[in-house]
Amino acid sequence: MRYWISAVGNAQGQRRALLAAALAGLLTALLGGLVAFGIERSDHQQHEIQARQLAVAVAHDLGGRLDRSLSAAIALSAVIRQGNGKIDNFPLLAKELIGQFGGIAALQLAPDGTIRAVEPLAGNERVIGFSPLNDPVQGPETRQVIERRQLGLAGPVDLRQGGVGIVGRNPVFIKDADGNEQFWGLVQVLIRLPELLLATRLDAIERAGYRYELWRLRPDNSVRHVFASSSDQPLERPVDIAIPVPNGEWMLSVAPETGWHSRRSLLIEAAVISLVSLLAAVAVYLGLRQLQLRR
């Protein structure tokens, strides 16, 4: 009888020790998980700050280059207004502006919305006589620029002369004899996209271990249009930086190449937490069993 009572008491003590050990292991695992979560969250925030700083610097560089190149359209428009719609020696003046502002593939004059002069002409002959105002694809954006009476940016688009580029259009209005402003035409700045991206520090993003996407929302249907990226793979929760452009904005998205969290570090943390939890459970179980056996 005493043996049976002792066996029952021993079994109950063992169950209590196992339960206490399981609770100790669970609590240790929860505590370790909270600590690991805090560490990972801090690392993620620091990583995100670095990504944002890099993206802001590159976006500022890209936006600045665009602004400088597009300023040539404003300068050329002023010359046309001063000449009351006439301009002397356009090729020479255009060459001067291209050299001064930089990043420009061509300057174009489009009286009444039809391109009549372009500098340099070599390689751009196909655009002579083209009317962006009446083009079914470029027409809506062109008419919008004229209605707003301010510089607008179209593209990236496939160019008639080949390649991909963006076009800055500045509408020119000239006062007639009665002092009323009449639409004279367009001054256009052509910027080839590959040359713009090459001049911008986008490669710094990749060297720092990040991937990027440069995109915009198409003005006609608001569909996301990615026109430059470091990879075909989608970005994981990227940092988005807006780049203001005339009559719209571009977006630069940046994310770490290997993700915000290192799988290796997560596995190590999980292994350490599991081992410590197991050791805590074993220690509690053995300690309680020793106390029970001494009684």
pLDDT in tens, 98-125: 999 989 999 999 999 999 999 999 988 8
Please give the class, per CATH, of domain 40-261: alpha beta
pLDDT at residue 51 above 50? yes
- What pLDDT does 3 receive? 45
pLDDT in tens, 62-102: 999 999 999 999 999 999 999 888 888 899 999 999 999 98
**Tokens at residue 76, please?**
């050329």
What is the residue extent of each domain of the chain? 40-261, 264-295
pLDDT in tens, 232-282: 888 888 999 999 998 888 999 999 887 655 566 656 666 666 766 666 666
